[in-house]
Amino acid sequence: MKMMYSLPSPERQRGVPCAPHGMSPNTARWRSRLRLISVIAVFCAWSAGALSAAAERPNVLLIIVDDLRPELGCYGVSRAHSPNVDRLAERGMRFDRAYCQYPVCNASRTSFLTGLRPETTRVFSNDLYFREKLPDAVTLPELFKKNGYRTVSLGKIFHAGGKLAKLSASGGADAERSWDEVKVFAPTKTGMQGEGREMTNPGGNRGWCRWLAADGGDEDQPDGQYAAEGVRILNEPREQPLFLAVGFNKPHDPFISPKKYFDLYPPESIEPPQVPEKRGPAAPLAISRATDFSKFTDQDRREFLRAYLAGVSFMDAQVGKLLAALDATDRWKNTVVVFFGDHGYHLGEHGWWNKSTVFEESARVPLIVWSPGTRGAGKATNAIVELVDVYPTLCDLCGLTAPSDLQGKSFRPVLDDPSLPGKPAAFTVVERGGVLGRSVRTDRWRYTEWDEGRKGAELYDQATDPDDYVNLADDPQHAPTVAELKKLLVSGE
């Protein structure tokens, strides 16, 4: 059998489509070009629509403060000088019962930036880079970047300290995936000079427990430089929506702030807290004795508290510069602002001057949210929320589809109605000596178990004992409450 074939026509050899029967080659070429133009026009229209939709989305200013508990005027702390954060609270919504999921920097930030709980992330320390456990997780800024936002990181957003310091030197943690731009600054030589001292070494690493009333101004410190860069970015003309995250380091140790902020707190005005006479023994793992603050002198306690407050006021002044930039550019109407501390902090309660507990002082954080058009603006709420809820809430406010595996819940309804109760409970965990402590905070109670109760349990009545001093877990009268809260811990919701 003969195989019949023919050579391609000259038009096909030149890449020109052959004319259908009865049509000239020129006509065929023009029709082909018209089809191509139509496809390009459709694509351009789709692209323009996508860009337009992105451009209409609100900007986001995310302000994360290291080691900040609700030590602010707007939270009723009269000794704290924080007029700028107070002004933000007057404009937005102040959350009075917001809780972190882990009271240590890396674990907390990994949780709220991935929208996953620590027991899912398995990041329990400051030395583990979260991508080692979560190579495929879509972080909060990464999602915004994928949806057309320009994402910028200034300062500490993901944790990159301690053994992870090399991440800062290389441009910040998760720089390529989550951010279009990352900036990390250092203090000037002037900013490292001034009056200060090393307080009594409570154990562990030296160098952290010191204060310095530094020479120079705000921009001799990294936080001042982050504020200045944030203002510059906020003032830039742009069409692309902006996701700007600013991480202020103070009041985190070492306690270094410009001297003028120390001057706001005369030493004679500083009064450390008094441990109440009526108190029960703490559970063995409730406070870590690896750092023994019983060695602190009265001078140490006063200077520590003064230096922390100076850091709060230094941070507050930098927040004020960002808010002033929103004022000057009239961008409040299209910018969502979220301000919070990454976890709480003890300032002498339970004899402790640090984080890493699941008492109320360490688990509770300040949270203030401004969202244009929400009906609850200017009000406060007692709704229980968690930092793991920030991710889905920002997606909700900005019209983005959140990843399906997020473990938080949007609190957008509360922004419209502050009388809503929020969640039934908030959960915080911490690891001590290889033992996991799991704590649940409801409207009235805080209940904590160590190693699922095998190494102790704690029950505190927040209505009568807000600082968690009287442990009721072994009181037979409260056995039904313990049983109910135990079930809540097991279910995790």
Q: Which residues are catalytic?
A: 105, 159
β-pair type (242-248, 335-341)? unpaired
Cα-based distances in Å from 243 to 146, 152, 153, 349: 12, 6, 9, 37
What stretches of 122-221 show up as alpha helix (H) in DSSP? 140-146, 165-169, 175-178
* 263-266, long-range: CB < 8 A, 24+ apart: 264/81, 264/309, 264/310, 264/313, 265/79, 265/81, 265/306, 265/309, 265/310, 265/313
Instruction: Give residue for tokens 């929103």.
Output: 326
Which candidate, 227, 219, 221, places its Cα nearest to that of 246?
Answer: 227
* 35-44, long-range: CB < 8 A, 24+ apart: none
- For residue 428, what are the β-bridge partners? 439
| Cα separation, 183 vs 64, whole angstroms | 15
Residue 276 has phi, psi (to 5 degrees) of -65, 150
Judged by DSSP in three states, 292 sits in coil
| Cα separation, 433 vs 388, whole angstroms | 25
Annotate 95-131 with three-state secondary structure. EEEEECCCCCHHHHHHHHHHCCCHHHHCCCCCCCCHH
Interior angle at CA 173, CA 171 and CA 179, nearest 5: 75
- For residue 337, what are the β-bridge partners? 61, 370
Query: Hey, what are 253's tokens?
Result: 């140790």
User: Sign of the C-alpha dihedral, residues 390, 391, 397, 403?
Assistant: negative
Q: What is the CA radius of gyration of the chain?
A: 28
Instruction: Give residue for tokens 């009064």.
Output: 271
Strand runs (DSSP E) across 120-241, as ranges? Answer: 150-155, 181-183, 194-198, 210-214
